[in-house]
Each structure stands twice: as structure tokens, then as C-alpha cells.
Structure 1
């Protein structure tokens, strides 16, 4: 189901047309028990989506996407949306629901929309699992004292760890050198899966990224390939055309570099959130991803279960049983 511009506008009306919004928000949440949610954090490519499905296979759950680019419909390969078969029937929310032509979703919009989804999921007596790498959106959703006019994650020296929800945080972490190699290979896999053709179709609709892209135009792969498609159109590069091949390879290298820089920024933001008091339980998936790079599926599954899935299940069970997460 796609959400229309009018729906987004209504959420913004709720946020910006109530004076003393923050005061009302604090009053609302201080006068009822805090809702329990699980929040999966981590840099891009670290396995958050897989872990969310693992958790949902053990605990009746519904997953709310917290990747700001995956909110929009389109470019499913380029934006790394989890394929339908991999979702194993688990309900996913805010994943490809917004038409990118209807305007950009802001952190304050996400705070309101995702909050409504959390309440709906809990009404169904299921566990909301927030999963995604857009930490500014997660911060906006969870912070008790969020101010859409002032808050800027990582720059606000007065950051508060006070939360609107009873949160069980899990941080899926992969050592930087392993993650960098894995992300490079993932870009190659995405291109093999049709990313170039998907982008060619996208640019054939007269898309212009512009100096300040918004929404889906910010997706890594779109600005990097813009010059290529403007010059060469949608045809693939060929070995006989040196200029086209160089332009293609330049775009691919830019995608890899920008993907890793994104991961670095995400890690820095997570560390900042941790410094404000967010109690993040770290699951080290490095050994599992080393096995992926070595094409050892058996060792990958063993390492993932031992280092990530099993300890995460234990943490979530303790949380739901009322122990400190």
C-alpha cells in the first residue's frame, strides 16, 4: 500500500500545527506505560534485515523499516529492499510505501507515521521490530524530547538518552576492513542482479538529480550513474568503447566508495547515540561475513547462529520476560 501526499501532509499537520508539540508529546507518554519495541541498528550491509526475520521467526513480530531511502517505491535492487521471498511471510511496514513524486519524508514525518504503526502492531499483540540504518530517523522516532526544528544527530551536544519507548537495542557490527570488502562485493552482486538495467529504466523517464537531490534521488547509485546515462543513454558498456567502459567503471567505483562512507557515518552516529545513554547490545557478525567473503555457506550459517542469532534471541527473550535488556 502506497501512502499519498495527503496522508503525509496530515502527519505533518499533527507535528507542526500543535503549539508546544514537545510538551504534549512528553505528557502523552508519561501518563501511560511505555510500549516495548526491539530496535536493530548497524551500518549498511551488516545483516539487520536477516536478523529481523530471525527474530520474527521466534517471536510474533512485525517489522518497521527505518531506512529512509527504502521508504519509497521503486529501485528495489538499487536500494537493497529485502525481496519478498526472503521476508518469509513476516509483515513489513514503511517499505516502499511512499510515492517518491509526493515529496520527501522528513525525520519528523517518520516519527509520527512509525509511532502509529507501532501502536497498531501492539494492538495486534505482536512485537514491533524497528530495523534500518537511518539513525536520524530512529533518533527522531525514539527520543522523548525530539524537536524537529533543532535536533541534529551527532551535532547536538545536549543529546538526551530519554526515550519514548521501552527499547531493546541490538547493534549488529562488522569489523571495518571486513565490511569494506563485503560492501564492494555486494555492489558487484547488485549489478549482476540487474541494478544497471533498473537505473537505466529510471533515467529513461527524464530524471534529473540536480544539485540537491531529495528522496529516492539520494539513493546511492542514482547520482553516481547520472553522468553516464546523460552521455551514453541506457545501453550497457562494451569492451570496444573505451570511454563508455571508463565512465561505467568510474560510476561503479564511486558507488563502492560512497557506500563505505555511508557505513562510516552510520557507525559514528550509532556511537554518538550510545554516548547519550542508549543501551546497545553489540552482536559481532565479523566471522559470519568473513565466511561470506570466502564463499563458505556452512561456516557463515554456523557463525551467524553462534555470534548473532542465538545471543540476540536471548537478549530479546530477557527483554520480553521483563529482565533488563
Structure 2
């Protein structure tokens, strides 16, 4: 089907950590006069290039990168509303220069919130919680119920919004709190707001120039995917490489910041922000043992091996969560917005064939996209694309509130 002429296109590159997202972004930016916008929460922080896996200056190959290393280490991670507002500002500036904006990063809820026109995650005018999220302590003080136990929070949510209470796991405190916050701040049920949002998306039958049926901009999304075992080995090697490049120096530096602030009676919440990055929390006990000199060489060796293994496990788990988000959230969102054909999976399993299996297919698709040429079906690119993209077929419609069902959790035996 021929697309309407494109206006203000956005390219997004998603996928698990270690699949080559930044490499593809740079390659496309070089060919199509692009500038890159970072969509990784940890890479917003200044410094610490190893812990945050920032692309190096050499790897950028002269391509401008934005929202990279732009906030201090003691600052909180940006809430979604802040990221979207900042990113839109950057996109507008990129377009004013006649360049193509390319969003790349592993924090997929950032990506999804930017891609979609979402009444709950855009600006402060359209997000009843955006302002409150910037001042979480004040919000909790204003509404003491938010400090109660998980069980008490769920009881309250069941009273005010039973539909959302049915959706969340009883131990998912963050999501339960957010649903309660919406009720407390607006006097409206989150389930009603989501339903209205869904109906608005489904009612939108305009073309790409009219927000592309739920998308904020006409968008082309590339998902770089790698076979699980191959990616596991690749990620394990990356952790080893991080150690060789100086990971422990960055761990010591970050730990020093915490200790310095604590000594100055200005403690930093180490359960948030950069301090929860993979690698720091796993190696911190080992770093402390070295600094204190209280352990034998044998004990230190054991602690180091344990930290390495835990870092590798955490990295693999993070990669799995990223893929789950794409499958369960992003793909469903695109289907709801009738934009499922905007997502193309590229098989990045074979690193030696990255150019032929990822870069070149992406370039051909981008050519078609920018010139309004009819594009191939996403599932036709490869057997991997066909199998992975069909995973979502059985999930179509499950995002509608009337289709939510409560199941029994096999881990905690709670319905």
C-alpha cells in the first residue's frame, strides 16, 4: 500500500543489550544525514563510559549524539515525562537543521513513550502525574497511603479501581502505586483513562500525516535480534572486556562519591539512578574489601569470581527483560495503533555478517520509507522475523481492559 508523503519521520532502533543498536544507528546516520538521540537511561549520566556502555568518540564516527552524558551522577534518573519532553526538543532542533532524527537505546519504555501519543506519558499538560513524578517525596507526604505495605496498597486499589487491581501482581508495588497516584491526583480511575486512550487510538483512521494512527511521528522501528545462546556468549565476553578496560576503576570512583557525600552529611540514595547500574552493585563489595584490606588473597579471588558471575547473570537477565518488553508492550502497542507494519526485525546473530544481515537490509527499508515507496511485509525479511513477529499474533487484543484476567503466580502462589 502506498504511503502518504512523509513529514517529520523518526527512526527508532531497539533490541537487547549487545545486539549492535549503536553500530546500526551510526551507519544509517552516515548515509542519511542523521543525528542520534540516546534512549538509554544509564547513558544519560556523565562519565562512567564502561559501566554505562557508552559508545566511544571513535565509534561515533563524527555523527552528533544527543542526551548522552547530560546529567550529574547524583541526579535521579529521568522519569518518562522528562525524557519525552527533552527528546522532542532535541528532535525539533535536529529537524530544523534538515537532518534525520534516529533514536537508539535499551530503555524501551522511554522509546515507547516517545513513539506513541500517550495521554499518560507525554507532557505535563497531558500527563496528570508528570509534575508529581518530579517530586515523589512530596507526593508520598501528601498521600500517606503510598507509604503503606504492599497488601494495604492493593486493598486500597481494589476499592477505587478494581480493574487495575486485577491487572497487577499483588507484589508489583511500583505499578500499584502508580495506579493509586493517578486516582489520588486526578480523581479518575487509571483503567478509565487507559480505556479512553485505547478507544481514541482505535478511532483514529488518519494517514501518516495525521500522527500515523497513534504514533507521534511517522516512524520506522528496527529491532535487532540475536539468538539467545549466541547473545549470552557475546554478553559474557563483554563483561570480561569491561573488566579489562577498567570497570573496577569506575566502581571505585562511584563508591568514592557515595562515601564522600555520606561524610559531608549529604547521603545519596544508592537504590536509584546510576547506583543501580549493572556492574557497580555487583562489584562494590569486592571494591570495599580491597580498600579495607581485610580479606586474604584467596577470599578476594572468590569475591571477584562471584562478582563477575553475578554481573554476567544480571546482564543476561536484563537482555531478556528488554526482549519481553518488545514482545509484550511495544508490539501490542503498535498493533493497537494499527502500525504493526512499522516494526522490522533484523537478525544480528552473526556478527561477522552484520553489514549484510542488518545494515544493508535496514538501509533498503529506510530508502523505501523516506521515499514513500511500498515496503515489504515485516515477516518476509527472514525466517527469524517471521517466527518472532508472529509471537504477538496470539496476544492481539489482550491490552483491552475487558480482556484482562487474573492468574495464579506459580512463584508466590497468589492469584
Provide the TM-score with structure 2 as the length reference: 0.62
1:93 aligned to which of 45, 66, 81:
66
1:281 aligned to which of 337, 344, 360:
344
Q: Which moved more, 1:240-249 or 1:89-98?
A: 240-249
2:255 is the counterpart of 1:203: yes
2:90 is the counterpart of 1:117: yes
The answer (yes or no) to whether the contact 1:170–1:312 under 8 Å persists in 2 is: yes
Cα distance in 2 for residues equivalent to 1:80 and 1:145: 30
Alignment correspondent of 1:218? 276
Q: How many residues align?
A: 277
1:310 aligned to which of 360, 366, 376:
360
Alignment correspondent of 1:76? 49
Q: Per residue, is there more helix in 1 or in 2? A: 2
Superposed CA offset, 1:6-31 (max 9, x none): xxxxxxxxxxxxxxxxxxxxxxxxxx
1:176-255 equivalences in 2 (<5 Å) = 176-207=228-259, 213-233=271-291, 241-255=297-311
Structure 1 stretches lacking a partner, 5+ long: 1-32, 289-299
1:47-196 equivalences in 2 (<5 Å) = 47-148=20-121, 162-196=214-248
The answer (yes or no) to whether the contact 2:282–2:311 under 8 Å persists in 1 is: yes
Structure 2 stretches lacking a partner, 5+ long: 1-5, 122-127, 131-163, 169-174, 176-190, 202-212, 376-415
The answer (yes or no) to whether the contact 1:197–1:234 under 8 Å persists in 2 is: no
* Paired residue secondary structure (1:283): strand
* Paired residue secondary structure (1:67): coil
2:372 is the counterpart of 1:322: yes
* Paired residue secondary structure (1:95): coil
The answer (yes or no) to whether the contact 1:200–1:234 under 8 Å persists in 2 is: no
Alignment correspondent of 1:22? none
Superposed CA offset, 1:211-250 (max 9, x none): 8621111210111122222333288x99x71111111111
Provide the TM-score with structure 1 as the length reference: 0.78
The runs of 4+ residues in structure 1 deviating greater than 3 Å are 148-152, 154-161, 206-212
Alignment correspondent of 1:257? 313
The CA deviation at 1:74 is 2.0
The CA deviation at 1:252 is 1.0
* Paired residue secondary structure (1:100): coil
* Paired residue secondary structure (1:250): helix
Cα distance in 2 for residues equivalent to 1:317 and 1:163: 20
Alignment correspondent of 2:179? none
The CA deviation at 1:260 is 0.5
Is the radius of gyration larger for structure 1 or structure 2? Answer: 2
Alignment correspondent of 2:144? none
Cα distance in 1 for residues equivalent to 2:129 and 2:318: 23
2:97 is the counterpart of 1:41: no
Cα distance in 2 for residues equivalent to 1:262 and 1:119: 31
The answer (yes or no) to whether the contact 1:69–1:218 under 8 Å persists in 2 is: no
Q: Which moved more, 1:107-116 or 1:202-211?
A: 202-211
* Paired residue secondary structure (2:13): strand
